[in-house]
Structure 1
């Protein structure tokens, strides 16, 4: 029935449909990072892994868009799982940075490689131009969303 909806709604529907599928696959594969890792905590782990020099807890909460107490609980879980630790902030001796442990970098890297292979298999019948156009469009959409949402 999506052909009866306005084009903008179709895009929203298809993006939501794809995100649900990716989230479902992610949930099935989180144990490759840690058997007790849940999806909500996983999003915090990704942000910490991606913060090359570490990230303050308040910045992490802002980046993910949650209350500081929610971020604090997620970080405590990641610390208990041995995936994240705290180190002194070299720019402010009173503050601490959250950093991913080497095992977290390794496991998240493998998880991402696996995800990339799956995505490649989904577009293996697309032309290089189609893939490049899709990537540019997604990038453009994300850049705009970062500014406005």
Structure 2
């Protein structure tokens, strides 16, 4: 990228490059979780796995910033693939929570472990201070991004 652009555009450009690379790698590895799983469904599965006590479909849609109908289609696909199940909400007998099936959770954890190992290899030449500064900067960026609607 040209140095005559403002620094904030260089940061955005580099973040975009990194996100594309991560997404491309994810697309290659997602079939290890399930051969029919697509990237959008994968993002829903992550969110469901990250809610260990389960999550309502409406909360899932809100958390991912998608329309309820989009969430409904993704959830139905994940159920059909046998990756998630519905269980009664202990706080509201009329409602249901989405939970990841144990095998799906285990496969996602294995995926995350491989991703962590790959990222560790990428930054293996960095100093501890470099890593700490980068982590704090990313956290600061994410915190700021969450404040903007």
Instruction: Please give the TM-score of this superposition, normalised by the length of structure 2.
Output: 0.98
What corresponds to 2:138 in structure 1?
138
- Asked if residue 94 in structure 1 is aligned to residue 94 in structure 2, the reply is yes
**Counterparts of residues 1-149 of structure 1 (less than 5 Å):** 1-149=1-149
Instruction: Please give the TM-score of this superposition, normalised by the length of structure 1.
Output: 0.98
**Runs of 4+, deviation exceeding 3 Å:** none
The offset of 1:2, in angstroms, is 3.1
The DSSP-based 3-state class of the residue aligned with 1:52 is coil
> How many matched pairs?
149
The offset of 1:148, in angstroms, is 1.3
Q: Which residues of structure 2 form unaligned runs of 5+?
A: none
User: Within 2, Cα distance between the matches of 1:2 and 1:18?
Assistant: 18
The offset of 1:104, in angstroms, is 1.1
